Amino acid sequence: MSDPVVAAKKDAGIRAANMVEDGMIVGLGTGSTVFFAMERLGERIKTEGLRILGVPTSNQTAMRAEEYGIPLTTLTLHPVLDLAIDGADQVDPKKQMIKGRGAAHLREKVVADAAKQFVVVIDSGKEVTGLDAAVPIEVLPFAYGSVAKKLRELGGEPVMREGVKKDGPVISDNGNYVVDCAFGAIADPAGLEAAINRIPGVLGNGIFAAMTAKTVVIVGGKR
């Protein structure tokens, strides 16, 4: 019997990929649900002759795109994207979300911001009534100590993300540290997102609360 969570992720990914139209420039997020969308896009390229260009948010996504036959481009050549497809770790009823378990949230936010439409693919387990997960924060290594102090002053509990198959901290594709900071229940996601970003040395954080107007959330298994 198939895993219902995997089935939901695949359903969400396929539905998002089917929204892509010929000639589009598409932002490609990072994570298992997005990879189902990329797999479907690869199928459409082969069977329908779909012509698209993708902008990957991580090295892992770029490698997967090459595997699926999706041609890639850059934000330098295409600073405005038609659509971006990405996953999320938590999504609330206002379409505010926390992202970053894959440590690609900084590039993901840049790509989502550049897109006319932001399509978020999730399974129902990612739906929450309020955001309360630890917030991933990308930090300039030089500034780690001062950033951690400022995060504690905001009421957070910062923890350096450690590698699983290597000793030491996780290093993002941009060469920076990733800090996971627990704040408990987040009453004002937009306010906290802005406050974290104001800390010198913070390059970006995983709260996505500023682009809900252009966000479409696809929950796998639901219509």
Catalytic residues: 108
126 is in an annotated binding site: yes
The owner of tokens 């949230």 is 105
Angle between helices 32-48 and 4-17 (to 10 degrees): 50
150 is in an annotated binding site: no
184 is in an annotated binding site: no
Q: Are strands 25-28 and 53-56 parallel, antiparallel or unpaired?
A: parallel
Token duo for residue 6:
């995997």
149 is in an annotated binding site: no
What is the residue type of 46? K
102 is in an annotated binding site: yes
86 is in an annotated binding site: yes
Could you give the CA distance from residue 127 to residue 170 in angstroms, rounded to a whole number? 27
32 is in an annotated binding site: yes
Annotated binding site: 30-33, 86-89, 99-102, 126
Annotated binding site for substrate: 30-33, 86-89, 99-102, 126
